[in-house]
Structure 1
Amino acid sequence: MSMRKKDAFTLIELLTVIAVIAILAAISFGITSGVYQRQARTKAAAELSALSAALESYRAQYGTYPITNDPGVMLKALANRVKWDGPSSDDTVNISERRPFIEPSKYDIAGTGEFWNDTQTLVDPWGNGYHYEFSTGSSWKRFGFILFSDGPDGTSAAPVDGIMNKDHADNADNIYAGSN
């Protein structure tokens, strides 16, 4: 009786190798998607922090935050593309010569035309627009602004009297900045 030399892998050995490769691929996919979500949340928090600082600088110069609830108008105000008509306004300075509070090219912007166009707004890492709300009205319990991202799920519950309900299910993954 002669012994034959084994020339090939058995079906069981091939299936075992394929299963191990599939498990390793699934693990690496899970790790990389988690890294992406953490990176996106970090980017949104950093952008909101920078926008919040720009809004504070705007208030220091003009005495109030941009008086609008439209994030596109807020973008134009922080880029100094909106003429200020307040009491401390310097009408002799051309708008394009004023120092911007933000550099729009460092942010993701959705819309058409140039960055100071009314149809443009800042977007978060998930492609949703950032929210900006401002009120000087006495109906708000606190004065100032609310600046936030809807987060990965793209949903949020509206603020009531200038306060976000962070316990609401739609606000669970939101990212906030602001003075309230």
Structure 2
Amino acid sequence: MSKEVLPGSCRGVCVKRLTNCIGAWHKSRYTGFTLIELVVVFGLILVLSGLVLSTVGYVRKKGARARAETEIAAMAAALESYKSDYAAYPRGNADLSNTTPYDTDTLDPVNNVNPAATPIPNVYTKASLYLYKQLSGDSAGNRQVTSKSYFTFKPNMLYPDDQTQDVQYIRDPFGNSYGYSTKKASDPSANGYNPTFDLWSTAGVAQSPTPAPPATLQDLWIKNW
């Protein structure tokens, strides 16, 4: 019995078709990602996202510190202008009463270290409000200037944001009350740093880092001493 042999042209066509079929099958089999490839891709995405977020957080914090330094320097300059007129730095109570001890003498920059506590400590807000009233010329705290102004506060420096409400305190870029104290000025033997006034932002730090340095919260503050 004789065997039939396909012509060369037919054999070429069959081989080509078979090759195409195998190639198509191979391509369809490896078109999608494997589980390992997906895990690697998602891992890289998470790492890159973490780097971006940490960088953004660092930039924001650095910007807030720079703004606080500028605001403290500007308020300190305004306090010098105030002293030129009154021969003394502002020292008193938020309600402008003569009751002692004054609010600005009560705030202690050595021991009253956390304005971010809930509720915000009155020692911070009262001293801050008194400073606002003296520098702004808004003695009622209702955002209406009625006397000489030594400093123009931007809306984002005052709490609350609602411009129709009375001011409660001067707000630092970290959302807390600025600290203002005349404790050392009232009593040289008392806690405090400057014999004139202490003005600071706690920079949003509520507790000392571990391990030190820095050894104290005050080392992390933005301050005029």
Query: TM-score higher than 0.5 here?
Result: yes
For normalisation by structure 1, the TM-score amounts to 0.73
Q: Does residue 176 of structure 2 align to residue 128 of structure 1?
A: yes
Specify which of 46, 68, 75 is matched with residue 132 of structure 2: 75
Q: Which residue of 2 aligns with 1:16?
A: 40
SS in 1 for 2:220: coil
SS in 1 for 2:89: coil
Q: How many residue pairs end up in the alignment?
A: 152
| Structure 2 portions without partners, runs of 5+ | 1-17, 93-103, 105-126, 209-213
Radius of gyration: which is bigger? 2
| Structure 1 portions without partners, runs of 5+ | 84-94, 157-166
**What's the offset of the Cα at 1:107?**
4.5
Q: Does residue 223 of structure 2 align to residue 176 of structure 1?
A: yes
Q: Is the 8 A contact 1:131 1:146 kept in 2?
A: yes
Give the helix-richer structure, 1 or 2: 2
Specify which of 129, 139, 142 is matched with residue 189 of structure 2: 139
Partners of 1:122 and 1:154 lie apart in 2 by: 18
Give the strand-richer structure, 1 or 2: 1
Q: Does residue 76 of structure 2 align to residue 52 of structure 1?
A: yes
Partners of 2:188 and 2:199 lie apart in 1 by: 19
> Identity, % of aligned pairs?
26
Runs (4+) off by over 6 Å = none
Q: Is the 8 A contact 1:78 1:100 kept in 2?
A: yes
RMSD of aligned residue pairs (Cα, Å): 2.6
SS in 2 for 1:64: coil
For normalisation by structure 2, the TM-score amounts to 0.59
Q: Is the 8 A contact 1:107 1:122 kept in 2?
A: no
Tell me which amino acid in the other structure corresponds to 2:62: R
Q: Which residue of 1 aligns with 2:150?
A: 101
Q: Does residue 73 of structure 2 align to residue 39 of structure 1?
A: no
SS in 2 for 1:104: coil
